[in-house]
Amino acid sequence: MTDRMETTSDRFTEEEVSFFQENGFLVVKQLIDESTRQAMKRRTLADLEHLTEPIEYEAELQYPGAPESIQSEGGKTPRRLKTAHERDPIFLETLKRSQFLNRLQQLLGPTVIMPTVHHNCIMTKEPDYSSDTGWHQDIRYWRYEKRELVTVWIALGDEYPENGSLKVIPGSHKRLYSPDQFDDELFLRNDLAENEELLLNVEHLTLSAGDVLFFHCRTFHAASRNYTAEPKYSAVFTFRGSENDPVAGSRSASLPEMMISEG
């Protein structure tokens, strides 16, 4: 069994669903057609050229490798273009296509809802001044009734370890963790034996342009900075089912959501 699935239909096979449930992630090869990928990339490049807000800059998070401040050299290096669904209709149109929608319904149920406050962005990783992201679960800052959401990661170009592709820990979404395994920012601590054991199972993902990664919000993942001469771009969106509402008053409930399908 492999983590990379050939696209033969507009839905997962039973084997693929089982793989996702067991490992917490799944790569579907060439799920995005070339014209769609190019349209997404054109919008990405245009908005980067004009620094079209809203943007999160590398310097704002201060992860290892990032510029010291917005005012320092490289300080205006973007980390992600926010609110991707408002940048070009191609993003929502693509997510509502059967090859996405059917798969999300298999994982989340007939009603699929997209929060606009979490992810909903184009992740950028520039050759200079990009940063390292430590081991974390996306659910760390999200507040929902259930810790059951699925993220879709669309590779707009090739992704591999040298340019900062994701690495994951298979099966990590099924385990329970104690608070002392995390630092103050809820990254896994690197000074604990129990975390070292967990990291023995790391898998580095390699994506080709047009591949799509589905992963569970509790799956541990991380990424290095971009060590190549070419930038890397990925469109990223998160989804929930109808019986998993955001907690009232939390950031997760602070922005309207998009109905992708109504069961």
Domain borders along the chain are 16-241
Q: Taking Cα atoms as reference points, which of 51, 33, 173, 56 lies closest to residue 119?
A: 56
What is the reported pLDDT for 236?
98
What is the reported pLDDT for 219?
98
Q: Taking Cα atoms as reference points, which of 232, 222, 58, 183 lies closest to residue 130?
A: 58
pLDDT at 91 over 70: yes
pTM over 0.75, yes/no: yes
Going from the C-alpha of 50 to that of each of 14, 37, 54, 55, 235, the distances in angstroms are 45, 20, 11, 11, 18
Write out the two tokens for 37: 């990928």
What is the reported pLDDT for 183?
96
Note the pLDDT tens digit of each residue in 203-229: 999 999 999 999 999 999 999 999 999
Mean pLDDT value of segment 242-256: 97
Fold of 16-241: Jelly Rolls (2.60.120)
